[in-house]
Structure 1
Amino acid sequence: MSGLISTAGLWSADKAIALTGYTPHQHIPSPIEPNFTAPERVSFLTFGPIALAAAVARVATTRDDAPVAVLDALQRSTLPMLETMVEDGTTFGLSTDFQYLGDTERTFLAARIGGGITDLYMNALGYTWRANAACLSSALDPHADFIYEGGNASGYGVVLAEAHGSFAANASAQSVHLQSKNKYLRQVKPYLAATSPYGKVIHGYSIAFGSAPSAPGAFLSLSETKIIKPKTPKRLPPALPEPEIPRDGATPTLIALAAHRSNFFLMGGDEVVGWIDWVRTVDGAPPEPVPVEFLRIQYAGSRYLVHPSSLWWLDPPRERFEELFDYRHPWHPILRWPPRRGAGGRPHLGWFAIEETAGADFLKSLTSIIQDGGRTIPATLSLPSFVPVGFGLGGDGVGRGRDDAGYRYALFRDGFALLGEPYRGRPRGIMVWSPKDGVSSP
């Protein structure tokens, strides 16, 4: 049932979590990449429930070598817990239901939410593309969780991010800060300046998040690589300007493939996932080149692509979109009708989607690789990035619409989105992706 999640059980208020600890760690040389400047940290992270739900799903499905069945199990096992275990209100806190979880379930939930918080923070800092960091070492060696690219790192390399979450009874600002420092020293620092399939590691972060079940409030701590800029010599003529490095839109292809593998999986686009896996390995026969339809939907002033699997609730179920756009039938109200109640009696669902330009540009690029037989993968792709909606640092970018006029959704920098009230959207047509022929709008 990829492509949608229940958002009815999530809390309603945006939350703000202050940065309660910060440690810059020295590294030689500093900076690793002379022209890289790390984005400034901000005192607190703000986010809505839709944003955290989407981020938790993103990090649970980032392992780009995991089979679809494994990713599906991870997604299904995490999101229902998120609905019931987080208390409503502007202050982060765990619900009273948390006491009924066993130790292993508590650890799992804390790790997943810690990963989601890390993804929100990294996107808020300006980083766009993500991949799993397992490629840096063997399974037996400790390593950071994620690799990010984009933002300040564009054209220079990639950054590491280690995530940690703790819901221990003795969680405090001090204990969470200690975890961020220890995790940095053990799982980030050894891999600085290392080479990954996605680029050279030029910076690192360790983000720890914690909350005590018995008390409201949460703790957020950041450790990162310290950058020491050389002092400008006195009485010297001004240096000639450095040649401009083309950065905007030049996304390393391998990390774009990794990020969009997760994105299209969450949307329900297993056909796209299959082609991504094939072009990365060219192992065996290619998948069947069956065209894939996406619904184009106008939502909150932008257009998004939605996979057919999101319409599973229509009665009778539809695998294709033709009936929505058959003017002999009243298709306009379909997306405004409340769907059938699913398991647990939840009244509506949220849709995973992708901003139309982001989705179309990526699928066009994927077709170009397929047409070449997967033999040649370009070093970079020209892909857009977006200002986040639904979360931010210091309040920037948080969508606060909670009344009838507002929209509840989250948009990430790579164009991936979770539309919390999709039935307010307006269908604008169909986009068809042919693996061999590209994108068209019949």
Structure 2
Amino acid sequence: MSGVIASSGLRASTKIVGLTKHTKHPHVPSPVAPNFTAPAACTDLSFQPLALAAAVARTATTWDDAPKELLDGLQQSALVELETLLEDGSAFALKSYFKFLADTAGSQFAAKVGAGITHLYMEALGYEWRANAVCLSSSLDPHADFIYDGGNAAGHGVVLAEAHGSFAKDVTAGKITSAARRKYKKQVKPYIKATSTFGEVIHGYSIAFGAKPTVAANFLSVSETRISKPRKKSGATPLGPKEGEPPEGTPTAIVLATHRSNFMLMGVPEVVDWIDWLRATDAVAPEREPVPLLRLQYAGRTYLTSLPWVRRSGAPPWWIEEFFDHPYRWRTARHPHLRASQRQAAGLAWFAIEEKGGTEFLNGLSAVIRSGRRQMSSSFVLPTFDPVGFGFLDADRAAPGVRDEGDRSYNYTQFRDGLALLGDPFRGRARDVVLWSPEGGVSLG
């Protein structure tokens, strides 16, 4: 797993996608969680191409039981396709190359982008943690794609999100709206109030995105659960935190699912192996050797990421001065499968995690490892962050989808759990190396 992608084609203008149709579907009982309030719909979603690329990679790797090597290949292929097929400009449009794709390939690409748009929309609404929804039913029964926690759902339960993408000449607003409604009724509604591995399902969304390959025309339709006004019941004590009260933490199961994908994208397989061991029943414990991580100062922030490989030529000064002779330079040999085009690309993007969020998770993971699988804590208390590189437009800044613009001179995106994709990482400054010990936590190297 590399943690690195070519990004030279992902510097196009910020895209703006408007909400074509928003439909609410009644449900009984309503609300499922008495104190849950759904966030207001996002009427205009803006995002940088790099944010969509990162979202596609995240959704492609949100599979709890899939092998790391398979997920790495899926996210790499998705990003290459996006780089090749996305047109420049403020409107979402496809390049003419799309017409050369076979029907199956075009449909698969549309599905990946639809999943990425869905993830950006859900994060813009304020949801923070995610997992695959395959736990809801057998593979023979249709079910939504993703489960989300955090934001308005924190302490109440989880919400479902079904994703759909369609790129075809005959795509219309009506067809996309119909798809969103149909998939809500079939793949979301049956599971509202169901119990899942990650908590009770209290709300649901079906998000459909479509575009015409020949013109800059796109459509975004959202179907979601309607929430009636809460009914007052004398003597009843509602479950979940009251309005204004912070939840005690995020359930461990969904935190581990989220960070399994995150650290896989970052190219830190050791953390993925420990997460898999914690969730298994008979697996052999991974090696307990310390794992080095680079502290990188970038855009006024500090991130943790995997140590870089050594480039033989064209490397920035800090790369040479601080890592050719670093005691952990052996780490660079652990990426032999990187394609030559990636190693030599002028533009690279790096997955990283905000230092505070990453450190607190790793320390919490070490505490769980020390206590053993049978003593696993029920929740993690972790920081979250405003998104960078995507969110609501300025008129909607009072909503939970407020964007943190960051430093606009940098090409990067950051999600609410702290995962970031740095579009020009060589502009960053390497500070030092920290070590994560599976049992001892994070310390300076």
Q: Distance in 2 between matches of 1:306 and 1:231?
A: 48
Q: Distance in 1 between matches of 2:71 and 2:205?
A: 25
Whether contact under 8 Å (1:155, 1:246) holds in the other structure is no
Matched residue, 2:191 = 191
Whether contact under 8 Å (1:136, 1:191) holds in the other structure is yes
Matched residue, 2:259 = 260
Whether contact under 8 Å (2:386, 2:404) holds in the other structure is no
Deviates more, 1:3-12 or 1:407-416: 3-12
SS of aligned partner of 2:20:
strand
Matches within 5 A, 1:6-45: 6-45=6-45
Whether contact under 8 Å (2:6, 2:342) holds in the other structure is no
Q: Distance in 1 between matches of 2:323 and 2:64?
A: 38
- Is residue 435 from structure 1 mapped to residue 438 from structure 2 by the alignment? yes
Displacement of 1:375 in angstroms is: 2.1
Q: Distance in 1 between matches of 2:314 and 2:68?
A: 23
Aligned pair in 2 of structure 1 residues 261, 327: CA closer, same or farther (>3 Å)? closer
Aligned pair in 2 of structure 1 residues 328, 80: CA closer, same or farther (>3 Å)? closer
The residue type equivalent to 1:169 in the other structure is K
Matches within 5 A, 1:1-400: 1-230=1-230, 247-248=246-247, 250-308=249-307, 311-315=308-312, 325=322, 342=341, 346-395=345-394, 396-397=402-403, 399=405
Matched residue, 1:408 = 411
Whether contact under 8 Å (1:158, 1:202) holds in the other structure is yes
Q: Distance in 1 between matches of 2:44 and 2:309?
A: 39
String of CA shifts for 1:215-269, please: whole Å, max 9, x gaps. Answer: 1121000000000114789xx9xx99x8678535611100000000000000001
Displacement of 1:317 in angstroms is: 13
Using structure 1 for the length normalisation, give the TM-score. Answer: 0.89
Q: Distance in 1 between matches of 2:88 and 2:314?
A: 34
String of CA shifts for 1:154-183, please: whole Å, max 9, x gaps. Answer: 000000000000001111111101100000
SS of aligned partner of 2:432:
strand
The residue type equivalent to 1:303 in the other structure is T
The residue type equivalent to 1:294 in the other structure is L
The residue type equivalent to 2:83 in the other structure is E
Displacement of 1:377 in angstroms is: 1.4
Q: Distance in 2 between matches of 1:287 and 1:275?
A: 6
Q: Distance in 1 between matches of 2:248 and 2:110?
A: 35
Q: Distance in 2 between matches of 1:345 and 1:322?
A: 15
The residue type equivalent to 1:285 in the other structure is V
Aligned pair in 2 of structure 1 residues 343, 104: CA closer, same or farther (>3 Å)? same
Q: Distance in 2 between matches of 1:46 and 1:398?
A: 12
**Residue in structure 1 matching 2:423, options 417, 420, 424:** 420
Aligned pair in 2 of structure 1 residues 102, 383: CA closer, same or farther (>3 Å)? same
Q: Distance in 2 between matches of 1:130 and 1:364?
A: 20
Whether contact under 8 Å (1:46, 1:398) holds in the other structure is no
The residue type equivalent to 2:206 in the other structure is S
Whether contact under 8 Å (1:164, 1:208) holds in the other structure is yes
SS of aligned partner of 2:164:
strand
Whether contact under 8 Å (1:208, 1:222) holds in the other structure is yes
Whether contact under 8 Å (2:389, 2:403) holds in the other structure is yes
The residue type equivalent to 2:249 in the other structure is A
Displacement of 1:342 in angstroms is: 2.5
Displacement of 1:284 in angstroms is: 2.7
Q: Distance in 1 between matches of 2:58 and 2:286?
A: 25
Displacement of 1:42 in angstroms is: 2.3
Aligned pair in 2 of structure 1 residues 115, 244: CA closer, same or farther (>3 Å)? closer
Whether contact under 8 Å (1:303, 1:355) holds in the other structure is yes
SS of aligned partner of 1:66:
coil
What is the RMSD computed on CA atoms of the aligned residues? Answer: 2.7
String of CA shifts for 1:97-120, please: whole Å, max 9, x gaps. Answer: 101100111011000000000000
The residue type equivalent to 1:342 in the other structure is S
Q: Distance in 2 between matches of 1:327 and 1:59?
A: 35
Whether contact under 8 Å (1:293, 1:431) holds in the other structure is yes
Displacement of 1:428 in angstroms is: 1.4
Displacement of 1:286 in angstroms is: 0.2
Q: Distance in 1 between matches of 2:319 and 2:79?
A: 31
Q: Distance in 1 between matches of 2:289 and 2:231?
A: 59
SS of aligned partner of 1:407:
coil
SS of aligned partner of 2:147:
strand
Whether contact under 8 Å (1:120, 1:391) holds in the other structure is yes
SS of aligned partner of 1:8:
coil
Instruction: Name the % identity.
Output: 52
Aligned pair in 2 of structure 1 residues 243, 43: CA closer, same or farther (>3 Å)? closer
String of CA shifts for 1:264-312, please: whole Å, max 9, x gaps. Answer: 000001111000000111423200111111110111111100102xx22
Whether contact under 8 Å (1:121, 1:393) holds in the other structure is no
Equivalent pairs counted in the alignment come to 420
Deviates more, 1:180-189 or 1:297-306: 297-306
Q: Distance in 2 between matches of 1:368 and 1:246?
A: 26
Whether contact under 8 Å (1:250, 1:382) holds in the other structure is yes
Q: Distance in 1 between matches of 2:117 and 2:242?
A: 36
For structure 1, which runs of at least 5 residues remain unmatched after alignment?
A: 330-339
